[in-house]
Structure 1
Amino acid sequence: MLGDRAGSMNLQETSKPIESGQYGLPAMETTTVGDGQLLGHDVQTQAAFTAHMKPDGSWLGHAHAGVIFCAEGVATYKCDGVGNMTEDGGVSFRGGAIFETASEALSELNGKYYMFTYESDSEGKAEWNLYPCK
């Protein structure tokens, strides 16, 4: 069961193709930067992730390095998700994230698994929404 939305961030993507080595299908490396709200705090975020196309046309993504900055502290995160291209040339992903922080203000992130929705358009403008699993 999912809890109430814990945060929402607006991001800008920058992507480039990388060697996939799987099935002769494409892979992409994407960086994101943006801002929004998380646990009631104004935040900024940056992340890098890779996505590999699967034989059925879907994508498997992994964010291996992400960071959240706010006046009250910082947190790092990792994500995994699956997604598909949208008709307008963007992507739609669903997945999960884990966070780590030493910040007291962001400590609610520790020890929980967060589900996410991630939607972007053809220009790389994206929205990332996070929901704690209960």
Structure 2
Amino acid sequence: MLGELIGEEIGEVTGVRVLSAEGGHAVLESSYRASGTLLGASVSDLGTYHSANRADGTLFGEGEGVAMTADGDTLTWHGSGVGHLTGSGGVSWRGALFYETTGDRFAQLNGIAAVFEFETDPDGKISAKVYEWK
């Protein structure tokens, strides 16, 4: 069951490069920088993910990153998801995240799966929402 909203952020894509174009299926690496909240704390998030075109026109992606607070709390994340191109030229993603931290502020995230909605627009702007998955 989809649980409560635990995080939101907005930001921008900071870089994209082609990793492979074998067999007509492009694999891209995208990095982004975002800011928002996670469990009520203000965070800055840096992430990189790889996405691959699939035969049916959808995308599959995997990524990792780190979220940090201004006072030094950090947590890392790993995730994967599926996406599709939108009519406006962006990409809409849905998937799961798994967090890891040694600090107390975000310790409750160590034992959960979270699900996300991640949107990009043609200009490289991103927005995301993260929910606890119960």
TM-score (normalised: structure 2): 0.94
Q: CA deviation at 1:6?
A: 0.2
Following TM superposition, where does structure 1 have runs of at least 4 consecutive aligned residues deviating by more than 3 angstroms? none
State yes or no: 1:97 paired with 2:97. Answer: yes
- Structure-2 residue corresponding to 1:19: 20
Give the TM-score taking structure 1 as reference length: 0.94
Identity %: 30
- For the residues of structure 2 that align with 1:103 and 1:12, how far apart are their CA atoms? 27
* Alignment length (residue pairs): 132
In 2, Cα distance between equivalents of 1:109 and 1:75: 9
Q: What CA distance in whole angstroms lies between the structure 2 residues aligned with 1:116 and 1:76? A: 15
Rounded to whole Å, the distance in 2 between the matches of 1:78 and 1:15 is: 19
TM alignment of 1:1-134, pairs within 5 A: 1-13=1-13, 14-21=15-22, 23-63=23-63, 65-70=64-69, 71=71, 73-134=73-134
Q: Which runs of 5+ in 1 are unaligned?
A: none
- Tell me the C-alpha RMSD between the 2 structures: 1.1
Take 1:31 and 1:123, find their aligned partners in 2: how far apart are those partners?
14
Which ranges in structure 2 are unaligned for 5 or more consecutive residues?
none
